């Protein structure tokens, strides 16, 4: 329903921000990573994940699309709610969380408050393949810019009508052959191969 909110940061705290969008104040829950990104700014854009429960309609905001996507992947796992997802993204960077999941590092995930060994194993089991495909199987060794470029290229190719599995496989092969490509390069090379 909400893609992003752009406006003035009226009230900022490590756990939330009130963002004024043309006279309407939205209370948005944020992670510590997002707070670090926005704490010195008076205005900006937050990418939104809108969560609806019986007793609450809640906005979660993220400084990057990559962080929002990881949050949504995390809360898709049984036993991980929005609060725990936000705690994970407040404890570790996006790259650290992705790397821990892809490499199967239970100890790193267990170190986060509220995550026990069974939950850590469930997160790895349910998200390892998804995140490996998204990053071409090399999430631990590529920089954050590459993961973002891969996500943007994958989204664009799916919108062009290619299947998600086909796109993930193709992008994985391209990253292995040419690891430094930007979004445009990844899309052009994919169109040659698909």
Q: Which domains are seen in the chain, by residue range?
A: 4-62 (2.40.50.140), 65-134 (1.10.150.20), 144-193 (1.10.8.10)
DSSP state of 57: E
Q: 61 with 51: CB under 8 angstroms?
A: no
Q: Output the pLDDT for position 68.
A: 95
Residues of the chain with pLDDT below 70 are 134-148, 179
**Distance set, CA 27 to CA 18, 90, 145 (Å):** 5, 18, 29
Query: What pLDDT score does 142 carry?
Result: 40
Q: What is the pLDDT of residue 136?
A: 52
pLDDT of residue 23: 95
Which residue from 126, 121, 115 is spatially nearest to 92, judged by alpha carbons? Answer: 115
Per-residue pLDDT tens over the stretch 155-192: 878 877 888 888 888 888 887 777 677 877 888 888 88
pLDDT score, position 89: 94
Q: What is the pLDDT of residue 134?
A: 65
**Contact present, 190 and 158 (Cβ < 8 Å):** no
Residues ≥6 apart with Cβ < 8 Å to 100: 92, 108, 109, 124
E strand map for the chain = 4-12, 16-21, 24-30, 43-53, 56-62
The pLDDT, as a whole number, for residue 135 is 58
């Amino acid at each position: 329903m909400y893609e992003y909110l752009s406006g003035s940061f009226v009230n900022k705290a490590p756990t939330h921000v009130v963002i004024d969008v043309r006279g309407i104040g939205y209370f948005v829950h944020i992670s510590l990573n997002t707070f670090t990104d926005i704490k010195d700014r008076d205005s900006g854009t937050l990418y939104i994940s809108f969560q609806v429960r019986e007793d609450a309609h809640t906005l979660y905001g993220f400084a990057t699309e990559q962080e929002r996507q990881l949050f949504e992947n995390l809360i898709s796992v049984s036993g991980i709610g929005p609060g725990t997802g936000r705690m994970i993204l407040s404890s570790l960077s996006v790259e650290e969380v992705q790397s821990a999941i892809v490499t199967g590092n239970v100890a790193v995930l267990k170190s986060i408050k509220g995550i026990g060994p069974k939950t850590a194993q469930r997160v790895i089991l349910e998200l390892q393949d998804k995140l490996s495909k998204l990053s071409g199987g090399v999430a631990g060794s590529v920089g954050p810019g590459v993961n973002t470029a891969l996500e943007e290229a994958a989204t664009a190719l799916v919108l062009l009508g290619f299947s998600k599995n086909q796109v993930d496989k193709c992008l994985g092969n391209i990253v292995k052959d040419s690891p430094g490509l930007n979004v445009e390069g990844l899309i052009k090379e994919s169109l040659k191969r698909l």
